[in-house]
Structure 1
Amino acid sequence: MTFFSILLALLFEQLKPLRADNPMYAACKQLAARMEATFNAGEERHGRTAWIVTMLILMVPTLLVYWLCTRISPLLALAWNVLIAYLTLGFRHYSHYFTSIQLALNSGDETTARTLLAEWTRQNTVGMSVSEISRIAVENALITSHRNVFGVFFWFIMPLGPAGAIMYRVAEYLARAWNEPEHLRNEPFGRFATKAFYWIDWIPVRLTAIAFAIVGNFEDAVYAWRNFADRWQDEAIGIILSAGGGAMGLRLGTANEAAADIPVADAATVDSASAEPEALPGEEATVRALQSTVGLVWRALLLWMLLLLLLSFAVWLG
């Protein structure tokens, strides 16, 4: 059932992508803001309580509905799974930015490409070269693909099922919403959300990196992962981008950027702890790198689907 749930959800999303500003997402954002306003009294334990309450509010009804559906009809349970997978697997939520940037660069319209990249990443893109635009677009595509597809995929096939997918997407959002805004930055309230998402994402991020290595250049991906992942301030971003860049033979990140200079977690930077860091491996990103990224992500997705299909057969035959 899990394989068909994800397959149908992906097909539905290809036909009718879910907008990033849909009512369900808006309701979750309002809930997160209300929890922060209610529980935030300046201590980390308040953030822990708010995180747990938020998860219970969203996950318990999801599990109850799933349990009721399984008692009534397997087809009803399948429909519920497809709905949750459709709401959480955001394969095309942000792909319009990536595709539009690719089309703009292919046509030589660098100004439009910079504008689109600024809207997507919320950073200053004035004066960026084609190589910089391509690199940052590739970096954000890899990170958003992991957080909107592969991370959700992993938790969906776990015993929690649809509730696991809800947990992952909400945990990722809370880690951003309770830490990135100016009034919450560096406050204790959001620390637990960051720690919780780190552990929730610990296994998925490594499985995504392994998938990139398998469907790309395996040796270079593993080499970059082992030797350069710790150059990023965010461990998960470092693993994804070092493995993804190695798989495609691209030089992602820059040797002397400070992570604090980038306003969003999806932007990749390298920790400049050393005065003369070793050069990052790979070639500079070009317009062709965007097409390579599309191929890498699709091949990784097909690999995950194939493994899930084989696992489903094994369970069915057993």
Structure 2
Amino acid sequence: MLFAPFVVCVLALALDRMLGEPRRLHPVVGFGRLAAVVEKTLNVTPGTPRRSLWAGCLAVLVLTGPVLCLAVWATVVLDGLLLLLAQAGALWLAMSLRGLAEHGRAVAEPLHEGDLAGAREQVSRIVSRQASALDEQGVAAAATESMLENGADAVFASLFWFVVAGIPGVVMHRMVNTLDAMWGYRNPRFLYFGRAAARLDDVMGWVPARLTAFTYTVLGNRKLAWWCWRNQAPQWDSPNAGPVMAAGAGALNVRLGGPSPYPGGMKQRPILGGGQDASPASVESAIKLVSHGIWLWLGILLAATVLVFLVVWVKWC
């Protein structure tokens, strides 16, 4: 059915809004636990570059191969309504718009009420920074950055890969993104072992990240967002997070980046955006930017589907 991708996206977003993330037996959580076991089993020589690199490649293949085969099998075997429901379920489990908003507001609300300790506790659940060393502006900046970056990873990239490759695409991206989040660290343990997952995540996230940056630019302060994207994004160490966060910071007219405390010490990061300091309001604005972006994507998908329908209809007539 020509309108199936649009219908699936709407159903998945409706499930996300009504149910949110499953509290128990979430497949992404289960996959993460399995990945931790595989990593402990295979990453036995972290100080040996070649062996660690090959072990990391094997780990990615062992974890993603069977699940990807199952996703392809489901796409081939299922048909009609069953396939549509399976697609909606897979997309719902892969993305997390409601969860994103809940995590962001869990930081913004105590911060707005002057409860810095509570805000630090909440932000420590969504970022890897040393939350105890963050001041109010630092907590707000960390939460705002998380909303912008995870909007790309957990929402827009999932929609993109579903439209491009159906269940196999969205499932593969979610697995690779999860492995990168767990293993993509430049420390002695994961420097080589996590490289395969990190590079694969860079490849799968390249187009969605730039579409997300474009979305933020269109919906926010266009001139500043475009300038930040062009001039500040190349300074960021991540090829995909750079455009997303730079464009998002510019779109919101908020200053992000800069020095940040991590468990391993202070990390010097480039300044992104400009104008106002991060605040509870900037966290809420980032959430709204992602939400409005979803409506834009759905509108474009519907318009493209209608256009294809009209072209086919004219040819048949």
Interval containing the TM-score (normalised by the shorter chain): 0.7 to 0.9
**What corresponds to 1:286 in structure 2?**
279
Flag the 1:83–1:279 CA change in 2: closer, same or farther, 3 A: closer
1:33-52 counterparts in 2 under 5 A?
33-40=36-43, 42-52=51-61
Work out whether residues 131 and 285 of structure 1, in 8 Å CA contact, stay in contact via their aligned partners in 2.
yes
**What corresponds to 2:167 in structure 1?**
162
**What corresponds to 1:130 in structure 2?**
136
Work out whether residues 144 and 282 of structure 2, in 8 Å CA contact, stay in contact via their aligned partners in 1.
yes
**What corresponds to 1:227 in structure 2?**
231
**What corresponds to 2:300 in structure 1?**
307
Kindly indicate whether residue 70 of structure 2 is the aligned counterpart of residue 65 of structure 1.
Answer: no
1:217: how far off?
A: 1.3
Work out whether residues 13 and 86 of structure 1, in 8 Å CA contact, stay in contact via their aligned partners in 2.
yes
Question: TM-score normalised to the size of structure 2?
Answer: 0.86
**What corresponds to 1:14 in structure 2?**
17
Structure 1: gaps (5+ residues): 272-277
Kindly indicate whether residue 269 of structure 2 is the aligned counterpart of residue 270 of structure 1.
Answer: yes
Secondary structure at the aligned position of 1:270 is classed as coil
Secondary structure at the aligned position of 1:150 is classed as helix
Q: Which of the numbers 217, 224, 228 marks the counterpart of 2:221?
A: 217
Q: Which of the numbers 4, 7, 23 marks the counterpart of 1:4?
A: 7
Higher strand share: 2
Per-residue CA shift, 1:180-222, capped at 9, x if unaligned? 4977332x22211111111111111000000000111111111
1:174: how far off?
A: 1.2
Per-residue CA shift, 1:90-143, capped at 9, x if unaligned? 212343221122221232322211221123324323353322221111001111
Kindly indicate whether residue 90 of structure 2 is the aligned counterpart of residue 84 of structure 1.
Answer: yes
Which amino acid in 2 is paired with 1:245? A
**Distance in 2, Cα, partners of 1:86 & 1:279:** 31
1:162: how far off?
A: 1.0
Flag the 1:165–1:108 CA change in 2: closer, same or farther, 3 A: same
Work out whether residues 232 and 269 of structure 1, in 8 Å CA contact, stay in contact via their aligned partners in 2.
no
Which amino acid in 1 is paired with 2:240? A
Identity level (%): 25
Kindly indicate whether residue 171 of structure 2 is the aligned counterpart of residue 178 of structure 1.
Answer: no
Which amino acid in 2 is paired with 1:109? D
Per-residue CA shift, 1:45-64, capped at 9, x if unaligned? 33223323322211111121
Flag the 1:153–1:107 CA change in 2: closer, same or farther, 3 A: same
Work out whether residues 225 and 273 of structure 2, in 8 Å CA contact, stay in contact via their aligned partners in 1.
no
1:289: how far off?
A: 1.4
1:173: how far off?
A: 1.1
Flag the 1:207–1:20 CA change in 2: closer, same or farther, 3 A: farther
**Distance in 1, Cα, partners of 2:197 & 2:160:** 20
Flag the 1:224–1:59 CA change in 2: closer, same or farther, 3 A: same
Which amino acid in 2 is paired with 1:167? M
Secondary structure at the aligned position of 2:278 is classed as coil
Q: CA RMSD in A?
A: 2.5
